[in-house]
Amino acid sequence: MDCIINRRAQFSASHRYWLPELDEVENQRRFGACSRFPGHGHNYVLYVSLYGELDQYGMVENLSYVKKVIKEEITTQLDYGYLNEVWPEFKQTLPTTENLARVIWQRLAPHLPLVNIQLFEHPELWADYQGNDMEASLTVKTHFSAAHRLALPDLSLEENTEIYGKCARVHGHGHNYHLEVSVTGEIDPRTGMLVDLGALEKIIDDYVVEPFDHSFLNKDIPYFAQVVPTAENIALYIAQLLQQPVRELGAELDKVKLIESPNNSCEIHCRQKVNSQLKLKQEPALV
């Protein structure tokens, strides 16, 4: 039987985004505060995912061996290090989160049956790499607060209550939504970036956070005048809003995950289907 196991590790390290062929003004324009001398640091969290069949001992891989490999090949070398200088790979390309995940894969792959490397730079920014040459994904997490009411306009309050329960009450209710936007692209061999992170964050802010935050979605967002703002439909609409702007940055929108509450979340996997062709479904709320 096949199985995926995950091993967690941590290290603290610093890095700087700076290309010597660019002057100070251009480095600052491209990399912002990340270009400041002598660099800045993060508490990185690494998840190493392994895939394989269970052996006679009930394991994909002996975790004592996995721990030893990760420690020797990764954490001992990177912990309290300056990433731009600790590995020769970063003499030619910057140690961005996505690029660091790629190089970690390369260093672990000879020893372990890898299926995914996930590296958190901080809780609201992480990268995934699966061994596909220079392709990686980058995820940005943000949040907004909004109210909504779940009700179909052509049904009575009683009928809507039967479908949506308390979520159909006429004055609506609110959530602190958490949003995860994942994009996929090719890592630039010089900058180490698959997308301009500042530009991506601005797109998410301009298209989603600013218009959605502290709004009553049914009334303040025209799209939801006719579409019931379930978590599923909100996530779908966000994916539709972001798909083209992300493509204009040179990446592809991969996934939108919307966390409505600790008990309720949904995901739109954008590269599997074209959003504009997805049929909107009105489904009962999860309460």
Residue 270 bears catalytic tag: no
For position 272, what pLDDT does the model report? 65
Residue 266 bears catalytic tag: no
The CATH H-level (homologous superfamily) assignment of domain 134-287 is 6-pyruvoyl tetrahydropterin synthase/QueD (3.30.479.10)
Are the C-beta atoms of residues 94 and 34 closer than 8 Å to each other?
Answer: no
| 273/244 Cα distance (integer angstroms) | 14
Residue-range domain boundaries for the chain: 1-131, 134-287
Distance, C-alpha 232 to centroid of its chain: 18
Which of 167, 180, 266, 270 does the annotation list as catalytic?
167
Which of 122, 214, 248, 269 does the annotation list as catalytic?
214
For position 271, what pLDDT does the model report? 83
Q: How far apart are the first and last CA of the chain?
A: 36
Residue 260 bears catalytic tag: yes
For position 281, what pLDDT does the model report? 39
| 121/140 Cα distance (integer angstroms) | 11
**Of the CATH numbers 1.20.58.100, 3.40.50.300, 3.40.1360.10, 3.30.479.10, which one belongs to the domain with range 1-131?**
3.30.479.10
Which of 175, 252, 260, 270 does the annotation list as catalytic?
260
> What are the pLDDT tens digits along the chain (287 aa)?
789 999 999 999 999 999 999 999 999 999 999 999 999 999 999 999 999 999 999 999 999 999 999 999 999 999 999 999 999 999 999 999 999 999 999 999 999 999 999 999 999 999 999 999 999 999 999 999 999 999 999 999 999 999 999 999 999 999 999 999 999 999 999 999 999 999 999 999 999 999 999 999 999 999 999 999 999 999 999 999 999 999 999 999 999 999 999 999 999 999 865 444 444 433 433 33
Are the C-beta atoms of residues 169 and 149 closer than 8 Å to each other?
Answer: yes
Q: Exposure string (b/e) for 216-246, b if CB count within 10 Å is 16 or more?
A: bbbeebeebeebbbbbbbbbbbbbbbbbebb
| 278/229 Cα distance (integer angstroms) | 16
